[in-house]
Structure 1
Amino acid sequence: MEVYRHSSYEFQVVDKIGAGGFGEVYEVSLPTCDFKYALKRFAPQKNIAEASLFSEGELLERFRQEMRYQTNCRHKNIVSICVVHQGDAPFFVMDLADSDLSKLIKKDLLSNEEKIQVILDV
């Protein structure tokens, strides 16, 4: 089982949730509690990194910028970051969201009113 460490925390990977341009997202847990978190680690997808005009260092800086922005942004629709790890393999940990908007849309689980509200919120 893969483990990510920060200070005295040991986050154990439960499942891979997804991946994006800059990283991979995992559902993780702490051995001492039943609460689940999401951990996003810097892991640029090879095809994106190769097709990008950015070097790996520039991609890393964009990942760190995402961490700063999300840490400083407080909004009901933005998941708060609770741990930031800046080491050789940067990652951040946040509350695990109740749902995933893209999955709700793909499964057509939103009413027209809810879809309109999402657009207005964005």
Structure 2
Amino acid sequence: MPPNIASPSPSPRPPAAPTRSPACSSRSTFDGLTPADLGDLVDGQTYVFLADTTTMTDPEHPLLAVDTSDEDARGDGDPVFRIAPIAMAEVEVNFFLSNVDFEDYASSVDDDGVFRGFDR
């Protein structure tokens, strides 16, 4: 290396982002539960994503999103909507960052009740 030329210094690494992993369960104890019942089982989670019979049998495999917050926090909005797999990351990230509320997504579903993204 020629004199008087500084070698590049390593750039600092950004701090690690918090990570969250989905918890999977195949317990049949969730069968037939209402959103309020489910809220009692999920230990403080404000929402859950479920793969139910419709998810498994519909060709698009839309997941079920359930608002498990208490009724005062939830308001008058519908506590459930379906999410196309292609839109799942968008929904999860925005819920995690609190950028978009459950009600915003629930009110933006297509005629068949499935959210497929805002930019379609």
TM more than 0.5: no
Quick check: which one's strand share is greater?
Answer: 1
TM-score by length of 1: 0.29
Relative to the length of structure 2, the TM-score reads 0.29
Structure number with larger C-alpha Rg? 2
